[in-house]
Amino acid sequence: MLEIVTYFALPTHPVSCEKHGEGHVNRTYLVCLADGRRCILQRVSRTAFHDIPGLMENIAAVTKFLAARTTDPRASMHLIPTTDGRDFYVDRDGECWRMYDFIERSVCLQSPESPEDFYQSAVAFGSFQRMLREFPAETLHETIPDFHNTPDRYRKLHAALDADALGRAKDVRREIDFALAREKDAAALQTMRESGALPLRVTHNDTKLNNVMLDEKTHKALCVIDLDTVMPGLAAYDFGDSIRFGASTGAEDETDLDKVSLDLELYRTFAEGFVSACGGLTDAELDSLPLGAKLMTLECGVRFLTDYLEGDHYFAVHRPGHNLDRTRTQFKLVSDMERKWDDMCQIVRKAKEKTC
Ligand code: GN1
Ligand code: MG
């Protein structure tokens, strides 16, 4: 790995390179240089991303755009160019590598240590969306077509079921039935997107709490990371994916489902931060936020289940049945949201009144 680093324009040589972070898709390393400087090295997944030059063009443009709007170097990511001035390096095997400055004195959380941490992530993702309102959205490449097109995710589940490549379907009938019972309602956001009832924004699309860096002392939000899926999308996607991950009382791969539920207080905290930081959301968008939470959770469960049926090619797994455990937490959360639906809608309405 250290050899890869030498293809990047760095002032000194690297002294160490260790695996870093909890991402399920790319491979991430923390690199220390001889002068004490630290950087992030990433191998971008070719399973997930089929147009890496386009993806890197998006990231270069978005990070430049954001960096030009702040004086704090820790408020946006900075790509380190290769020695020949490119944004990424392609090795002999065709793998694509990129480097960023490490955001010093920061932390990245897997679950909020306090409601304030979650509020800070809401402000970070809401501000990200607001700042990118001026960004020329038509110049962005669609890095994963149909990323949050839930009906399309169902089509892929059906294909995996039909193929049943590993014969796993018979063991997960309950999970399959849970998903299929909700299929007809799963198109609601996509339908509103296609009809124009919901406006397209530049969205992050992968708004897990661990995609925000907080200051290590104050826990104030510094910077949104993992920009691979920045694309035109709906506000409900970013709201929903944050709730799915951060407002759950259990980890995404918790095996004791009694520990998994929607924390309505965290949900309220996030709604208040997000609605006020985005600013200017239309009434239809505000009404779509609870649906975003439910559908992003259902969709993610469908994706984990599909990957399980296909043999775990997409998401990194660390134990047998890992994708199935993840599927189960997502579906448990969906059931809990169905129970708490009226409260979820009311909380968003109140958050809106608070910001008016
Ligand atoms: C992946 O790369 P990471 O771990 O931040 C995935 C998200 C899923 C998430 C589930 C490009 O995010 O869509 O919601 O795992 N990213 C991609 O934890 O597929
Ligand atoms: Mg990530």
> Is 90 exceeded by the pLDDT of residue 280?
yes
* Ligand 1 contact, 300 CB (< 6 A): yes
Residues near 194 by beta carbon (within 8 Å), at least 6 away in sequence? none
> Is 80 exceeded by the pLDDT of residue 115?
yes
* Ligand 1 contact, 253 CB (< 6 A): no
Q: Identify the bridge partners of residue 18 per DSSP, sorted by sequence position.
A: 30
Ligand 1 atom with the shortest distance to the CA of 252:
18
* Ligand 1 contact, 107 CB (< 6 A): no
The protein residue whose alpha carbon is closest to atom 15 in ligand 1 is: 24
Higher local confidence (pLDDT), 182 or 11: 182
> Is 90 exceeded by the pLDDT of residue 356?
no
Q: Probe ligand 1: pick from 206, 207, 295, 322, max atoms within 8 Å of CB?
A: 206
Give the type of residue at 343: D
* Ligand 1 contact, 25 CB (< 6 A): yes
Ligand 1 atom with the shortest distance to the CA of 244:
14
The string of pLDDT tens digits covering residues 210-258 is 999 999 999 999 999 999 999 999 999 999 999 999 999 999 999 999 9
pLDDT, averaged across the chain: 97
How far is Cα 21 from Cα 342, in angstroms, rounded to an integer? 36
Q: Probe ligand 1: pick from 152, 204, 208, 243, max atoms within 8 Å of CB?
A: 208
Higher local confidence (pLDDT), 145 or 3: 145
Give the type of residue at 69: R
179, with CB counted inside 10 A (0-12, 13-18, 19+), is buried
Q: Identify the bridge partners of residue 262 per DSSP, sorted by sequence position.
A: 248
CA of 24 to the centre of ligand 1 (A): 6
| Ligand in closest contact with the CA of 213 | 2
Mean pLDDT of 166-191: 98
CA distances (Å), origin 160, targets 38, 142, 202: 42, 24, 31
The DSSP line for 214-252 is EETTT--EEEE---TT-EEE-HHHHHHHHHHHHSBSS-T
| Ligand in closest contact with the CA of 21 | 2
The string of pLDDT tens digits covering residues 286-296 is 999 999 999 99
CA of 83 to the centre of ligand 1 (A): 30
* Ligand 1 contact, 268 CB (< 6 A): no
- On whether the pTM is more than 0.95, the answer is yes
DSSP 8-state symbol, 262: B
> Is 90 exceeded by the pLDDT of residue 165?
yes
Confidence of residue 1 (pLDDT cuts 50, 70, 90): confident
The string of pLDDT tens digits covering residues 299-321 is 999 999 999 999 999 999 999 99
* Ligand 1 contact, 251 CB (< 6 A): no
8 Å CB contact between 308 and 323: yes
Tally Cβ neighbours within 10 Å of residue 74: 16
> Is 80 exceeded by the pLDDT of residue 323?
yes
> Is 80 exceeded by the pLDDT of residue 102?
yes
User: Residue 161: which region, alpha, beta or left (left: phi > 0; alpha: psi -120 to 50)?
Assistant: alpha
How far is Cα 68 from Cα 306, in angstroms, rounded to an integer? 40
Confidence of residue 32 (pLDDT cuts 50, 70, 90): very high
8 Å CB contact between 41 and 31: yes
Which 3 state secondary structure label does DSSP give 183? helix
Among the listed residues 129, 141, 121, 139, the one whose alpha carbon sits nearest the alpha carbon of residue 202: 129
Pairing mode, strands 14-19 and 38-44: unpaired
